[in-house]
Structure 1
Amino acid sequence: MYDWLIVGAGFAGSVLAERIATQRNEKVLVIDRRDHIAGNAYDMYDEAGVLMHRYGPHIFHTNSKQIFDHLSQFTDWRFYEHRVLGEIDGQHVPIPINLDTVNKLYNLKLTSEELEGWFAQRAETVDEIKTSEDVVVSKVGRELYEKFFRGYTRKQWGLDPSELDKSVTARVPTRTNRDDRYFTDEFQFMPKHGYTRMFQKMLQHPNIHVMLQTDYQDVKHLIPHRRTIYSGPIDEFFDFRFGRLPYRSLQFKHVTLDQAWFQPVGTVNYPMTQDYTRISEYKHLTGQDHPRTTITYEYPAAEGDPYYPVPKPENQELFKRYEKLANATPDVWFVGRLATYRYYNMDQIVGQALATFRRIQEALPSGAETDKVSVVASSAAIAS
């Protein structure tokens, strides 16, 4: 008899497994349908010996010292600030758009103050910002929207930005200075020996057992357990009772080259050309010294493993119906990107898992046998 069955060995499941095993001294079984732990953050040494990410680049960044300190129990860190270039009009320019981006693209010599006015002259008036298109054209105008956002978004989501919630493009800032870092968080680091090693340490406890290549539907009635933490797709948990929640997927083409470097930064985006959205080169991220290099081409897809919830109002309405079912399901906690149908960064998932553990502690004093009505982890929980 396990005290907990945890579905998914990614950030949500692994953080909670470690907390429950060490802080509550309870027995945990973690299952995952894949053949590895660490979820989409899984990294590995390929045949050439290059440390690479099977599911595309994962760069850790956070403003939360609590989250950073928590993960620091399981890894040392390598300082790394991610930089991205975009191939626009045949040249590479910084993304997010900054002072150097505009000056290089238009052969100008604007100052930061002049760039603010330059943006203002091109910005379109939008009475109410509802869509991703509204966000961009109201800040920088239609020409930069077409160059940087529209094509990339249509490839990534299979939808025009005018059809997507404003949250999609609101994630990417526009700067008037020369800061070319993709993220500006206080803590920007990579696990020194990789994500997989960090997860191994997190799950290395006698109270934790791990079963890979195991589907929840196949074992939920076979393995005795008292409670469940579920980080898979919420619609799948309920056998798609109200229909499937839409997700976007990705296909990855990994290529190892007989050269030391391929590109000047970790990621180059292709908003206007190519079928793929971006190329990433892992040695920039890991700092590995190797005579060869491995790169990954990313191709968005409608079919495949679910990666990104599609942010449209009707999809949120469908999720709310599943969320109502989840809240009425006893002894099951729903945690993670797929179970809460929101796009969260890695640090946000860790925060959500830690907040869920605090709620578990409040609802179930250690060793208690009382039932608990499940609660879908909310975005408010992350802020706490």
Structure 2
Amino acid sequence: MGNSPVNDCLVVGAGFAGASVARALADAGRQIRLVDKRTHIAGNAYDEYDAHGVLVHRYGPHIFHTNGERIFQWLSRFTGWRPYEHRVLGVVDGKSYPFPINRDTLNQLYGLDLDEAGAQSFFEQVREPRDQIRTSEDVVLNSVGRDLYEKFFLNYTRKQWGLEPSALKAGVAARIPTRTNSDDRYFTDTFQAMPSHGYARMFENMLDHPNISVETGVDFLDIRNSHRCRHVVYTGPVDAFYDHRFGHLPYRSLRFEHEHLPEVARFQQVGTVNYPNDHAYTRITEFKHLTGQEHPGTSIVREYPRAEGDPYYPIPSDANEALYKRYEALALSEPDVTFVGRLAQYRYYNMDQVVGAALTAAKRLLER
């Protein structure tokens, strides 16, 4: 009996995918070993108080929003919420405009006085209709035309992805709506809120279960041949799982430049300001907008996209999708491994979508 599995499941990764699967399985009576190669839980959503006492997101801003009541209620078991609706400005020629583009953006940018019908008519006049929408460039030109594309999207996309918009799949730009009204919220989901004590605390509560053992600073690749678990739930990069057998799947990474500004109560007007055409960074986020924290100073982060580093965003192109399909075929043939999450499924998931995928994966495992 000495070699019998000591746990029902090894979960690799303590971000949204791994933690959600672990908790759902633990609630159903399964014994879970959860490992993460970082020294902390919560994945990229990890937040902490900086040296000046301001709560910051170490890996860039994470704003929770969802239309899924079931997902919101499930997470509500582990946190209270602070209502928060994210707003973003885009800087063009030294002036700030509401983004995503809405009626006020048009009026301020072009010196107009359009109502909703006028904004709709404006977009109809300037758009460049596309019969087939294949790329991000197609999406934006079809929606708002050349001038707005060049002012707000073209250079931002080049910085963010290291590619021309014409080389990116349509879904990337389709995430950003265009509005004829004055709604300046970045998201319009039913549920928009921030965990009242931060993400790390929410994850601590999620993983606080007698059936879950958590080990940080443990790389799956070091234990994959020695662990004694009946099943593995893997949330890391799928190509790494297979030792990059068919080559590396391209991911976009980020470098974060955190800065504290003492005795500056408020650095910018809204949570995030985009800089599509200026600077090497894409945007600046000021965390006190997101958290509602009171503090005499403020802390900000600048985001510099790059090719090398921790994988953050799968790069959605036809070639990358074809490469992923080769890995997916291997993954689907693994009876004792479940792949779930942004990196394991090479999908540009939002946080709520990751939770939904994780809960679905846990349900399927329990049914088996």
Q: Classify the TM-score, shorter chain.
A: over 0.9
> Which 4+ runs in 1 deviate beyond 2 A?
none
Match of 2:325 in 1: 320
Q: How far apart are the structure 2 equivalents of 1:65 and 1:124?
A: 37
Q: How does 1:44-193 map to 2 (within 5 A)?
A: 44-193=48-197
User: Unaligned regions of 5+ residues in structure 2, if any?
Assistant: 1-5
2:351 is aligned with 1:333? no
Amino acid in the other structure paired with 1:308: Y
SS in 1 for 2:344: helix
Q: How far apart are the structure 2 equivalents of 1:318 and 1:3?
A: 32
Match of 1:280 in 2: 285
SS in 1 for 2:343: helix
Match of 2:314 in 1: 309
SS in 2 for 1:109: coil
- 1:235 offset after TM fit, Å? 0.5
Amino acid in the other structure paired with 2:347: R
Q: How does 1:202-281 map to 2 (within 5 A)?
A: 202-258=206-262, 259-281=264-286
Match of 2:3 in 1: none
1:87-115: CA deviation from partner (whole Å, max 9, x where unpaired)? 01211100000011010011111111111
1:55-114: CA deviation from partner (whole Å, max 9, x where unpaired)? 000000000100000000000000000000010121110000001101001111111111
Q: How far apart are the structure 2 equivalents of 1:96 and 1:108?
A: 18
**What is the identity percentage for the equivalent residue pairs of Structure 1 and Structure 2?**
60
Match of 1:371 in 2: none
- 1:179 offset after TM fit, Å? 0.3
Q: How far apart are the structure 2 equivalents of 1:162 and 1:123?
A: 16
Q: How far apart are the structure 2 equivalents of 1:182 and 1:19?
A: 31
TM-score (norm 2): 0.97
Match of 1:374 in 2: none
Q: How does 1:286-305 map to 2 (within 5 A)?
A: 286-305=291-310
SS in 2 for 1:210: strand
Q: Root-mean-square deviation (CA), in Å?
A: 0.7
Q: How far apart are the structure 1 equivalents of 2:89 and 2:59?
A: 20
1:275-333: CA deviation from partner (whole Å, max 9, x where unpaired)? 10000000000000011110000000000000000100111111111111011112100
User: Unaligned regions of 5+ residues in structure 1, if any?
Assistant: 364-384
Match of 1:359 in 2: 364
- 1:222 offset after TM fit, Å? 2.1
Match of 1:5 among 2, 10, 20: 10
SS in 1 for 2:260: strand
